[in-house]
């Protein structure tokens, strides 16, 4: 399985309508692109763990997108709905990180 991990920080003062547009684009990509197996998005949780102060940057949101294989990820990245999402991300984000991982279940 391939997991596409995106950590992101919206621009300060982002309007509620822009924020809603961004999350609608995320949902559209999640539901409208056939190669997506699972799509999770949500806010960061802080709870006093020892590693929290070690983080040099704050990314208050994460998106985790799962695919069966690399071909599925590549299809997703080239899909028009993802291209729309990408344009919005460049416009509305103050910072972001994106990484792709090949993972296996250990349970």
Residue 45 lies in a domain: no
pLDDT in tens, 58-91: 999 999 999 999 999 999 999 999 998 999 988 9
- CATH, residue 35: 3.30.70.100
Confirm if 97 and 9 have CB atoms less than 8 A apart.
Answer: no
Residue 47 lies in a domain: no
- CA atoms of 20 and 23, how far apart (whole Å): 5
Residue 32 lies in a domain: yes
Residue 95 lies in a domain: yes
Domain of residue 26: give its range: 2-40+52-60+70-102
Per-residue tokens: 30: 């999640």
Q: What is the pTM of this model?
A: 0.90
Residue 94 lies in a domain: yes
pLDDT in tens, 10-63: 999 999 999 899 888 888 888 999 999 999 999 999 999 999 999 999 999 999
Residue 56 lies in a domain: yes
Total number of domains in the chain: 1
């Amino acid at each position: 399985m391939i997991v596409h991990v995106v950590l992101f920080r919206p621009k300060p003062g982002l309007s509620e309508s822009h924020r809603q547009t961004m999350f609608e684009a995320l949902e559209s990509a999640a539901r409208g692109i056939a190669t997506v197996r699972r799509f999770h998005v949500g806010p960061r949780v802080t709870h006093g763990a020892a590693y929290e102060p070690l983080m040099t940057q704050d990314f208050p949101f994460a998106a985790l997108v799962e695919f069966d294989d690399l071909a599925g990820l590549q299809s997703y990245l080239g899909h028009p709905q993802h291209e729309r999402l990408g344009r919005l991300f460049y416009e509305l984000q103050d910072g972001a990180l994106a990484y792709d991982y090949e993972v296996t279940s250990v349970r």
